[in-house]
Amino acid sequence: MKMVFAHDHIFYKYNDQYYSSGGLSKEMLERYSSIFEEVVVLSRQKEISSLDNKLTLASTDRVTFIKVPDFKSVKRYYLKKKASAIVKNEVINADCLIARNSSIASIALKYAKQYRKPYLLEIVACQWDALWNHSFKGKILAPYSYLKLKKTAKEAPYVIYVTNEFLQKRYPTNGMSTSCSNVALTEFDDKVLEKRLKKIKYIQENSKVIIGTTAAVNVRYKGQQYVIEGLGNLKKQGITNYEYQLVGGGDQRYLKTIAEKYDVVDQVKFLGAMPHSQVFEWLETIDLYVQPSRQEGLPRALIEAMSRAVPAFGANTAGIPELLEKKYIFSNTRQNISEICGILESMTKGNMVSQAKRNFDEAKQYDQKVIDERRQKFFQEFIDEIKRR
């Protein structure tokens, strides 16, 4: 059975191999190729002349990558007709479609419905949050995109959500649905928790406390600026023992300007992008993890931090409150800065110990074997329905 997978993700082509900067690695795509005989990936692409070690291999057996022109900007919108023709051809020649909410997916869904192709929708993020927190133009587009996805989800015969509750409530469906996080962890070693508890035990009063976030530093809805402002407020109170380490690529100028504005330049460290394996090593060195995003699905970075028994806190956004205790969630209002400061000051050694244990146990829900079994069962129900038709 031939399946088309449609998403806006950018794959990087180097020496006839395809690489990914994030969520669609070889291992991720094999979730589909292990079920479908042939997988065609419709996405954006970029050719590169040298291989960045931060990219991960995406190419794998029985997966073909088809380039769809990038028509998302005003200057490139003229390419939409060409993109639509490519998507239409692939959908017509496939047995079914899996569409991950995006611009390319919207085109693919249109043709799947027109040519009566079975389809499954993956909802991995909230359209409203993504656009509303992006820019002024985004605020104009947010209501339309929100209502469009809401209608698409309601009509979809099969839907996979990455959250347990949030996206289901915001974009409910009348079809069959399941919850399958894109995060799948493979190793849980009790020694990780033991090491963390020992690290907490030896924290001295007024010693440096390292806070960390993994996210692009040039995307404002990732929210690092709120943590930086919080450090500025604490500094006014004479509290300067926090250091904020930011892992992630992108232009650092905006956040550096925020650090200068609140006089905490010496407390904010930009570590740049890291290979995924190195991120786990870095998580071992920090004391607290924060996910301050205003747009998310179910944040992989937060779950990975929890799997390393890191005490954590985060914003009241999408699936973040599903992962953390309520008292470690701050609002997306003007009160968020004082709430961030309050949470930091509440992180006593006793609370850090309880949160380390709690987060380590919570992360076990994202065991790869459990999630893969649930996803494969749902895919099989989808395939069985196609065969019956």
Tokens representing 86 are 């490519």
Around 231, how many Cα atoms within 13 Å sit in the side-chain half-sphere?
Answer: 29
Question: Averaged over 236-252, what is the pLDDT?
Answer: 96
**Measured between alpha carbons, how far is residue 307 from residues 166, 274, 362 in Å?**
22, 18, 8
Tell me the mean pLDDT in the region 113-136: 90
**How many helices (DSSP H) and strands (DSSP E) are in the chain?**
15, 15
Least reliable range by pLDDT among 38-42, 186-190, 191-195: 186-190
- Name residue 9's amino acid: H
User: Mean pLDDT, to the nearest integer, of 82-108?
Assistant: 97
Q: Which residues pair with 99 in a beta bridge?
A: 6, 121
Q: What does the mean pLDDT of the chain come to?
A: 94
For residue 277, name the pLDDT band (cuts at 50, 70, 90): confident
Amino acid letter, 126:
C
Other beta carbons less than 10 A from residue 233's beta carbon:
15
pLDDT given for residue 229 in this prediction: 98
CA distances from 296 to 132, 171, 182, 324 (A): 12, 14, 12, 14
**Segment among 15-19, 129-133, 232-236 with least mean pLDDT:** 129-133
pLDDT tops 90 at residue 317: yes
- Chain-centroid distance, C-alpha 217: 14
CA-angle at 308, arms to 185 and 331, nearest 5°: 95
Pairing of strands 2-14, 56-57: unpaired
Mean pLDDT, rounded, for 327-350: 97
Q: Which residue, 272, 257, 323, is CA-closest to 293?
A: 323
Q: Which residues contact 287 (CB under 8 A, 6 or more apart)?
A: 199, 200, 203, 209, 210, 211, 310, 311, 352
Closest-CA residue to 159 (of 68, 215, 167, 304): 167
Confidence grade of residue 389 (pLDDT, cut at 50, 70, 90): confident
pLDDT at residue 254 tops 80: yes
Beta-bridge partner residues of 18: 13
Percent of the chain with pLDDT over 70: 100
Residue 53: pLDDT over 80: no
Closest CA to 308 of 193, 147, 139: 193
Residue 368, pLDDT above cutoff 80: yes
How many C-beta neighbours within 10 Å does residue 285 have?
10
- Among 28, 300, 32, which residue's Cα sits nearest to residue 183? 300
Continuous H helices in 293-348: 300-307, 320-323, 336-346
Rounded Cα gap, residues 104 and 30, in angstroms: 21
Domains of the chain in start order, with CATH, are 2-184+368-388 (3.40.50.2000), 190-364 (3.40.50.2000)
Is the pLDDT at 106 greater than 90? The verdict is: yes
- Give 8's pLDDT tier (boundaries 50, 70, 90): very high
